[in-house]
A and B are shown apart, each in its own frame.
Chain A
């Protein structure tokens, strides 16, 4: 059974279309990164999953329950870190946690939860005095109450310092190892790349791609960029000619002793062999895998081009 299943979900706010026929399946036990620029419709999707807003068209289930028919059963097994939330200024961290524990009929220790997210020393202070990062940690702790089967985290690293972001990633991994499915949205690619099994890219209300991190990278730009530094500049031209002769190579440029080769990802050895055979010695080489940023840019551009073609 899929943890989350969206089927043709469309949402219109007046004349504005926020989501357009989104189909998406998140398998149980995976860490799913929901990626897209601000305003793409990520929060709207999450709000629909939590029954905060109602889809104009389409249907969705979470943990096997219809989102509109049984939101309470979904929420009983889900931990949520919403976006744009606010804590209760006049209540302490401990009161927040106790309230969630009681609401979920859970049996957890508030001190342990606070310890886990690193706010143990502030637990008896009023949450209104917390920094944005501490509030984020508190709400994360609230999301962890009751060992939920699904964690929905909307832009979880907002307001967190690098330590906080690292802690967030650790907790996501721990929760996933415990068996929880994690669904989190972000516009920061580094966050997603670091922990996710699968990534979906949302743009202008459409899901434009869904794949594993590696798969996406390959799909967006099949080429691996290989940078080869020769021991001396004498054999550069010969080396370029030799590499160009290879079937798997698409581009070669030379700059002094450095050759930049665009090739299939499995052509690395062939390139190096060709250089050696041409009589040059390889001083150094490195491969450069495309970052998700580039993947994202490539997908986005591709989408815009297609759109432009359709419009034309």
Chain B
């Protein structure tokens, strides 16, 4: 079938042409090349496959055989929210690892091997190169996420489980953003560091630190300040909550919790060591323990813990590594 007869192909061709002709998309051929090249890497397929299996299958199978009933709120029918609860603790630690493997080699490997010389012999600035790499590799990261989510939907559609479209799509969006953030993080380090090995070590090292130690950092820092600087308990909780939210893993988790709980306050409370004090002293509310869990009523969330702020903290992990990576890359000898 020729391109003229196939509407999908024609549409893709039209999109391709219009991006190509856009004045601000000089980086576009790089992102396309990057996608074509990376998508042929067997490693990324192995990793994506593992991710898809872990992300979609256990939760889906569990729900299919009604093991997920315990996650449903009492009396309510089983919805995809139960799946999201299942998938969140899998996606939160696993997706960064996938994204890092996709991103860490982006520039450092090409620099080591010498293909960067071919790329930069073409009419691209180093910034455009970085932009093209970011877009192309982010698209690769979105493949396992999308396939995992679609697999879930395909299995759940014929089942008795009700699909809660709004929360499911928001979860999909948050997870995609989360994957892209870690891809950008790894690419930024790849642009700044000399070898791919170092970029991988640095990005995985920071990721492990975030995953394993960061959750204790906020509480530890709060304690430290309380012991030595005599701060009061509310300040201590502020330190704890704020520092926790600066981790992209925590901010992603709390955003997804927010989608499920329908309340930013309840999902933020999950991050503190003392929900009652946080609710009553810091937020000025009343903590009520219901069947569905603790609920903080009549409370006001300070702007630094609002949804927008948390999204901004998450995106900082995209912007800062890319900008810092660009700065180092722009000024270095290849």
The answer to whether A82 touches B122, judged by C-beta atoms less than 8 angstroms apart, is no
Listed in ascending order, the chain B residues whose CB lies under 8 Å from chain A are 20, 29-30, 32-33, 36-37, 40-41, 113-115, 117-118, 120-125, 331, 333-334
The answer to whether A102 touches B29, judged by C-beta atoms less than 8 angstroms apart, is yes
With A88-B37, A99-B29 in contact, is A50–B121 under 8 Å at CB?
Answer: yes
Would you call A220 an interface residue if the criterion is a C-beta within 8 Å of the partner chain's C-beta atoms? Answer: no
The answer to whether B125 touches A72, judged by C-beta atoms less than 8 angstroms apart, is yes
The answer to whether A87 touches B121, judged by C-beta atoms less than 8 angstroms apart, is no
Q: Could you list 22 examples of A-B contacts with CB < 8 Å?
A: A47-B334, A50-B120, A50-B121, A52-B334, A53-B333, A54-B333, A72-B123, A76-B123, A80-B117, A85-B114, A85-B115, A85-B117, A86-B113, A86-B115, A88-B115, A90-B41, A91-B33, A95-B36, A104-B122, A139-B118, A142-B118, A143-B121
**What are the residues of chain A within 8 A of B30 when measuring CB–CB?**
103
Contact with B along A273-303 (1 / 0, CB 8 A): 0000000000000000000000000000000
- With CB as the reference atom, state the residue of chain A lying closest to B21: A105
Lowest 8 CB-CB distances: which A-B pairs, in order?
A: A80-B121, A53-B333, A82-B117, A76-B123, A90-B40, A86-B113, A102-B29, A103-B122
**What are the residues of chain B within 8 A of A99 when measuring CB–CB?**
29, 32-33
A-B contacts counted at CB < 8 A amount to: 77
In the bound complex, what is the Cα–Cα distance between A104 and B119 (angstroms)?
A: 11
> Which DSSP category, helix, strand, loop or mixed, fits chain B's interface?
helix
Within 8 A of B (CB), among A82-138: 82-88, 90-91, 95, 99-100, 102-104
**What are the residues of chain B within 8 A of A87 when measuring CB–CB?**
115, 118
**What are the residues of chain A within 8 A of B115 when measuring CB–CB?**
85-88
Would you call A173 an interface residue if the criterion is a C-beta within 8 Å of the partner chain's C-beta atoms? Answer: no
User: CB within 8 A of A85: which of B32, B40, B118, B125?
Assistant: B118
In the bound complex, what is the Cα–Cα distance between A228 and B318 (angstroms)?
A: 79
In the bound complex, what is the Cα–Cα distance between A82 and B125 (angstroms)?
A: 17
* Minimal beta-carbon separation of A39 from chain B (angstroms): 17
In the bound complex, what is the Cα–Cα distance between A142 and B120 (angstroms)?
A: 13
> Which DSSP category, helix, strand, loop or mixed, fits chain A's interface?
mixed
**What are the residues of chain A within 8 A of B333 when measuring CB–CB?**
13, 47, 52-54
Would you call A71 an interface residue if the criterion is a C-beta within 8 Å of the partner chain's C-beta atoms? Answer: yes
In the bound complex, what is the Cα–Cα distance between A139 and B333 (angstroms)?
A: 22
**What are the residues of chain A within 8 A of B32 when measuring CB–CB?**
99, 102
In the bound complex, what is the Cα–Cα distance between A100 and B119 (angstroms)?
A: 9
With A50-B120, A139-B118 in contact, is A103–B29 under 8 Å at CB?
Answer: yes
Most A CB contacts (10 A, CB to CB) among B113, B121, B125, B333 go to: B121
Within 8 A of B (CB), among A36-91: 47, 50-54, 71-73, 75-76, 78-80, 82-88, 90-91
With A86-B114, A86-B115 in contact, is A75–B124 under 8 Å at CB?
Answer: yes
**What are the residues of chain B within 8 A of A102 when measuring CB–CB?**
20, 29, 32
With A91-B36, A102-B20 in contact, is A75–B118 under 8 Å at CB?
Answer: no
**What are the residues of chain B within 8 A of A71 when measuring CB–CB?**
125
* Minimal beta-carbon separation of B102 from chain A (angstroms): 15
The answer to whether A84 touches B114, judged by C-beta atoms less than 8 angstroms apart, is yes
The answer to whether B122 touches A75, judged by C-beta atoms less than 8 angstroms apart, is yes
The answer to whether A72 touches B117, judged by C-beta atoms less than 8 angstroms apart, is no
User: CB within 8 A of B121: which of A75, A88, A91?
Assistant: A75
Most B CB contacts (10 A, CB to CB) among A78, A100, A103 go to: A103
In the bound complex, what is the Cα–Cα distance between A95 and B20 (angstroms)?
A: 17
The answer to whether B33 touches A52, judged by C-beta atoms less than 8 angstroms apart, is no
With A71-B125, A84-B114 in contact, is A52–B120 under 8 Å at CB?
Answer: yes
* Minimal beta-carbon separation of A244 from chain B (angstroms): 58
In the bound complex, what is the Cα–Cα distance between A271 and B120 (angstroms)?
A: 58
In the bound complex, what is the Cα–Cα distance between A52 and B114 (angstroms)?
A: 11
